[in-house]
Amino acid sequence: MKLTITRPDDWHLHLRDGDMLKGILPETTRDFGRAIIMPNLVPPVVTGVQATAYRGRIQAALPKGSRFTPLMTLYLTNTTNADDVAAAHAFGQITAVKLYPAGATTNSDSGVTDIEKVMPVLEKMAEIGLPLCVHGEVTYPSVDIFDREAVFIERVLAPLRTRLPALKIIMEHVTTEDGVDYVNSAKNTAATLTTHHLIINRNHLLVGGIKPHYYCLPIAKREAHRLALVNAATSGNPKFFLGTDSAPHSDPAKESACGCAGVFSATNTMSCLAHVFENAGALDKLEAFTSLNGPAFYGLPPNADKITLTKQTTPVPYPAKIETGAGPVTVFDPGFPLYWHVA
Ligand code: NCD
Ligand code: ZN
């Protein structure tokens, strides 16, 4: 069996920097044409000049002959200046701005503490058509970690949506049925879905021993939510597209008494997705999810070239770990053999 589709893009990706970047970049560039590059470096990417310098480091690390295009983002902080953001957009330095609520996830200490503080920037973005990528979780200690997405929608996202109807918002890595329903109901709003949230629920993370390589934020939820995500992804609805949130951490950082959040799925994402879509009887919707809906929402053309997925009769071998100069990085284990591969 063969399936030829427009080359996919990854609308939410962590590439890190230095030796980690060099080690893991080929895992993405093998299959993907473009990716939205997350700005949560230490320190974060907050200016157009920093975004351009980071793009340069990514381009310098590209495998020979690669035509991969990194699409850069700025990390929104309480002190981000609206005119600086508009200038970075006008100079072609950035494709989107990322909102992390302070303390929500890995390297989000510089994030926004109160949406009021960034309203001038968001108003400017609405005016110039620059999309906002949102990590949709509240961080109040009083809110249970499994409820953080639903509470964010109610307290932060829905009011913001009403206040700035023209702002293009991408709710990143939606993990709940509440998120899917909200995105379906809201104008000018789309969502990315990760590979791993289509495959694992919280039992995979916690039953039979804790699995640090399944720990990511937002945390995997119960099975009913996973099913809602699969329905959204395989529906063909243009509001939903792939953002792997592939987020490498070295094994010692994951396998620790206080392990980092992040699942690394760049290596086998297309194999995993073909499996999920085939199981849902929706292989014909895979291209929309991975290659068409994302560019349409961002106002970009789809990639001009194609990839071919082939289904073989024996499991596709892929490395359990990627060895990098910053240590080994464990590849996402879907928990079942994969038969599809990009030829
Ligand atoms: C991401 C990371 O490691 O940078 N981790 C994660 O669990 N997804 C941060 C993020 O996108 O939340
Ligand atoms: Zn992420």
Q: What is the pLDDT of residues 292-337, one digit of tens each?
A: 999 999 999 999 999 999 999 999 999 999 999 999 999 999 999 9
**16 CA to centre of ligand 2 in angstroms:** 11
- What pLDDT sits at residue 202? 98
The number of the ligand 1 atom at minimal distance from the alpha carbon of 260 is 3
In terms of DSSP bridges, do strands 34-37 and 69-75 run parallel, antiparallel, or are they unpaired? parallel
The number of the ligand 1 atom at minimal distance from the alpha carbon of 14 is 4
Question: In the block, which residue shows the tokens 């490498």?
Answer: 248
Identity of residue 142: S
For residues 320 and 213, what is the distance between their CA atoms, to the nearest angstrom?
A: 12
pLDDT tens-digit profile of 102-130?
988 888 888 999 999 999 999 999 999 99
Give me the residues of the chain with pLDDT under 50, please.
none
Query: Could you list which residues have their CB under 5 Å from ion ligand 2?
Result: 245
The number of the ligand 1 atom at minimal distance from the alpha carbon of 217 is 7
Nearest ligand to the CA of 247 is 1
Could you tell me how far CA 324 lies from the centroid of its own chain?
21
- What pLDDT sits at residue 92? 97
- What pLDDT sits at residue 165? 98
Q: What is the pTM of this model?
A: 0.98
Is 213 in contact with 332 (CB distance < 8 Å)? yes
Note if 9 is an active site residue: no
**249 CA to centre of ligand 1 in angstroms:** 10
- What pLDDT sits at residue 85? 98
Question: In the block, which residue shows the tokens 């063909």?
Answer: 236
**4 CA to centre of ligand 1 in angstroms:** 31
In terms of DSSP bridges, do strands 340-342 and 306-311 run parallel, antiparallel, or are they unpaired? antiparallel
The number of the ligand 1 atom at minimal distance from the alpha carbon of 215 is 7
Nearest CA to ligand 1 atom 9: 106
| Site residues for ligand 1, CB cut-off 6 Å | 14, 40, 105-107, 135, 216-217, 245, 247, 261-262
Nearest CA to ligand 1 atom 4: 106
Structure tokens at 155: 């307290």
**40 CA to centre of ligand 1 in angstroms:** 9
Which residue among the candidates 245, 251, 284, 305 is catalytic per the annotation? Answer: 245
- What pLDDT sits at residue 109? 83
- What pLDDT sits at residue 301? 98
Nearest ligand to the CA of 35 is 2
Q: Domains along the chain?
A: 2-342 (3.20.20.140)
Q: Exposed (0-12), middle (13-18) or buried (19+): which is 87, by Cβ within 10 Å?
A: middle
Is 188 in contact with 170 (CB distance < 8 Å)? no
- What pLDDT sits at residue 106? 81
Identity of residue 215: Y
For residues 242 and 103, what is the distance between their CA atoms, to the nearest angstrom?
A: 25
